[in-house]
Amino acid sequence: MQSQTTQIAILVAVGTLIFLLVPFFLVMYIRSYVRHKKNHVLEKETMKQKFEAEMLQTLVEVQDQTMQTIATELHDNVGQLLSLTTLTLNSINLGDSEKAGKKIESSLSLVNKSIKELRELAKLLHGEQLVENGIGHAIEQEINWLSKSGAYELKVSNQLFDLQVASPNKDLIILRLLQEIINNIIKHAKASYIEIDCYYAHETLYLKVKENGIGFSYDEKKQKKTGMGLNSIYKRIEMINGKLVLNSKLNKGTSIAIEIPYP
Amino acid sequence: MRIISPIIIAELFCLIAAIFLLSKDKIKFWKVNIAYLCIALITESYGSYLSSKSIHNIWWYNSFILLEVAFIFYGLYHCLKEYINPKPLIFGGLGISYAIFITYAILDGYTTYANTTVTVMSVIFVAYCLYYYYLLLKDERVVELKYHPEFWWITAVLFYYFGGTTSNLFYWILKFEILKNFPLRLIIFYITNIILCSIWIYTYICRAKQRKLQS
């Protein structure tokens, strides 16, 4: 009987020890879980801040690009038109009323053209409103300025008008990506033909740009660390969970295909 | 005979800590802690005194169980209300505990230790404590666990009632004495009480820190 009681006592003592250890390990587990949760939240917060900083940077770059376009337009287009108007008006001989009338008419036409150009430029000044009418319109505007230069043969298929979905943050990044790609083409590609194709399907936005320029070796650029524009493109695409496929062959041009989950 | 037991010392320390750290608290639950510890200390002291005089003291401890049940459920209510509406759970548990207490008081008499009530209420308390942990982990907010008074208050309750489960279950056959006049049940009771009081002291320190930060 005594032995049985001793056995029960041992059982109870061991049981109690286990029953005290269980809450101890439970508390340890909860502490570890909460610590991981805290780290995860901090990580998320950091990522959010990074994204916001990147968005701000993108906006600044878009505005900078717009300013450059406006400056070029004012110098090359409006400036020339107004100079021509001044020359025409200066050459008016009031004694010859028939010729003077024609010159005044011509000057008026030049002034009207200048006003039209200035209106177009004014639209661009609202850099942040560029994507307000949708990514389709923003891309179209970007292509319009490119076509105005007359330096490239363009083939454009823009199917992004009247999209039922929108994502202003992504729109801004997509527009900046296109600007960066076009800039790279203008600065380095020496192309004569550019093909731009953009469309939306299966909750994905596709943007494809192809040109017939001199091409380059991506690995070489990466090694020389000169491809900063490309790095920035890759970084931004990664930020919005997109994909980029780049194909380039020396003297055979470059093609860039971008896929972005949208909206 | 012993009047001053380790439980009385632990409760006294806990009460002093509670008075120092919680007396200025504006939240009712924390103030109630002081009152509860005060009553617990009186109960334990008088119980020990009766025992030293070899006077039957079970009725005295049984009366305290009624208050203990109410206080622990109130604490659980205070902690759970952060995440859910705990009224149905609390009143349900309280009803079950009191019903069992009354039933056994009628069947066995008030002078028999209400072990069934203690066992059942321990199971309920443990379940609610674990449910609190679940809600805490599920919640999207991140809490500084190290200084979270509610978490430590619950942890103390879990240690006390979960740790005492085996001795509750074997209550009637557990008179095995490790030392003279020290049955194993009493030693387990001392240990769980000391753990409870120690964690509650830490809880009150956390609460005082929290109050300072919030002010």
Å between B150 CA and nearest CA of chain A: 13
pLDDT mean over A223-231: 65
Among A39-48, A183-192, B80-89, the minimum mean pLDDT is found in A183-192
Please return the burial class of B214, using the count of CB atoms within 10 Å of its CB with bins 0-12, 13-18 and 19+.
exposed
Q: Using CA atoms, how far apart are residues A177 and A183, in angstroms rounded to an integer?
A: 10
Residue B147 lies in a domain: yes
Are A119 and A103 within one domain? yes
Do B175 and A3 touch, CB atoms closer than 8 A?
A: no
Query: Residue A12 and residue B137: Cβ atoms within 8 Å?
Result: no
Domain assignment of residue B178, yes or no: yes
**What is the pLDDT at residue B81?**
94
When pLDDT is cut at 50, 70 and 90, the band that residue A126 belongs to is: low
B184, B174 Cβ separation under 8 angstroms: yes
Work out the number of other CB atoms within 10 angstroms of the CB of residue B202.
Answer: 18
Total domain count, chain A = 2
CA distance A45 to chain B (A): 13
d(CA B115, CA B105): 11
First to last CA, chain B: 48
Report the gap between the CA of A24 and the closest CA in chain B (Å). 8
pLDDT, residue B133, reads 95
Model confidence at A190, in pLDDT bands (50, 70, 90)? confident
Looking at the fold, whether A92 and A172 belong to one and the same domain comes out as no
Residue of A nearest to B156 (CA): A23
Question: In this structure, what are the phi and psi dihedrals at residue B179, rounded to the nearest 5 degrees?
Answer: -115, 170
The shortest CB-CB distance from B176 to any of A9, A15, A19 is to: A9
Task: Work out how many domains chain B is built from and give that number.
Answer: 1
Residue A15 shares a structural domain with residue A122: yes
Residue A2: band (very low, low, confident or very high) from pLDDT cuts 50, 70, 90? low
B166 closest CB neighbour out of A16, A24, A37: A16
**Looking at the complex, does the CB of residue B179 fall below 8 Å from at least one CB of chain A?**
no
Position A179: which residue type? Answer: Q
A62 and A155 together in one domain: no
> Looking at chain A, which runs of residues are DSSP E strands?
153-158, 193-201, 204-211, 243-249, 253-261
Q: pLDDT value at position A147?
A: 82
CA B213 to chain centre: 28
**Is residue B100 assigned to a domain?**
yes
Q: Are residues A154 and A212 in the same domain?
A: yes
> What is the three-class DSSP state of B179?
strand
Range with lowest mean pLDDT among A70-74, A246-250, B42-46, B125-129: A70-74
The minimum CA-CA distance between A21 and chain B, rounded to whole Å, is 8
Residue in A2, A3, A20, A45 to test binding to B, most B beta-carbons within 10 Å: A20
Tell me which of A72, A95, A129 is where a domain ends: A129
Burial B50-63 (b: 16+ CB within 10 A, else e): bbeeeeebeebbbe
Å between B171 CA and nearest CA of chain A: 10
> What mean pLDDT is predicted for residues A1-27?
83
Interface test mutation site (partner A, options B129, B131, B146, B159, max chain A beta carbons within 10 A):
B159
- Residue B36 domain-assigned (yes or no): yes
On whether both A117 and A217 belong to a single domain, the answer is: no
Q: Are residues A145 and A77 in the same domain?
A: no
Distance CA B137, CA A34 (A): 7
**Domain range for residue A70?**
1-129
B158 CB within 8 Å of a chain A CB = yes
Residues A50 and A169 in one domain: no
B93 versus A88: the higher-pLDDT residue is: B93
Range of the domain at B38: 6-214
| B135 interface with A at CB cutoff 8 Å | no
Angle at B92 between CA B89 and CA B96, to 5 degrees: 140
B193 touches chain A (CB under 8 A): no
d(CA A246, CA A185): 14
**Residue B179 confidence (pLDDT):** 53
Whole-number average pLDDT of chain A = 84
Omega within 30 of 0 (cis) for the link into B149: no
Residues making up chain A, counted from first to last: 263
Domain boundary among A61, A96, A129: A129
A122 & A176 share domain: no
User: Domain check: are A106 and A144 in the same one?
Assistant: no
Pure H helices in chain B: 6-22, 28-52, 58-80, 87-108, 115-138, 149-163, 165-169, 184-214
Q: Which of A18, A27, A36, A38 to mutate to test the interface with B (most CBs of B within 10 A)?
A: A27
Mean pLDDT by groups of 10 residues along chain B of 215 residues = 80 95 92 95 91 86 93 96 94 95 90 87 95 93 89 95 83 59 80 94 94 83
Give me the interface pTM, i.e. the ipTM.
0.84
- B133 interfaces chain A, CB cutoff of 8 Å: yes
CATH number of A199's domain: 3.30.565.10
Q: Which of B142, B145, B159 sits opposite A23 (nearest CB)?
A: B159
> Does the pLDDT of residue A227 top 60, yes or no?
no
Q: Smallest Cβ distance to A23: which of B158, B166, B185?
A: B158
Q: What pLDDT sits at residue B187?
A: 85
Tell me the chain A residues in contact with residue B176 when contact means C-beta distances shorter than 8 Å.
Answer: 5-6, 8-9
The answer to whether residue B1 is domain-embedded is no
- pLDDT of B176 reads 53
Q: Indicate whether B73 belongs to any domain.
A: yes
Would you state the pLDDT for residue A219?
Answer: 74
How many angstroms separate the CA atoms of B134 and A260, rounded? Answer: 38
Residue A123 sits in the same domain as residue A201: no
From A112, A129, A146, give the residue that closes a domain. A129
**Can you give the pLDDT at residue B174?**
62
Instruction: Report the C-alpha gap between B85 and B81 in whole angstroms.
Output: 5
Q: Note whether A94 and A164 are same-domain residues.
A: no
Q: How far is residue B106 CA from its own chain's centroid?
A: 25
Confidence of residue A228 (pLDDT cuts 50, 70, 90): low
Lowest mean pLDDT among A100-114, A178-192, B164-178: B164-178
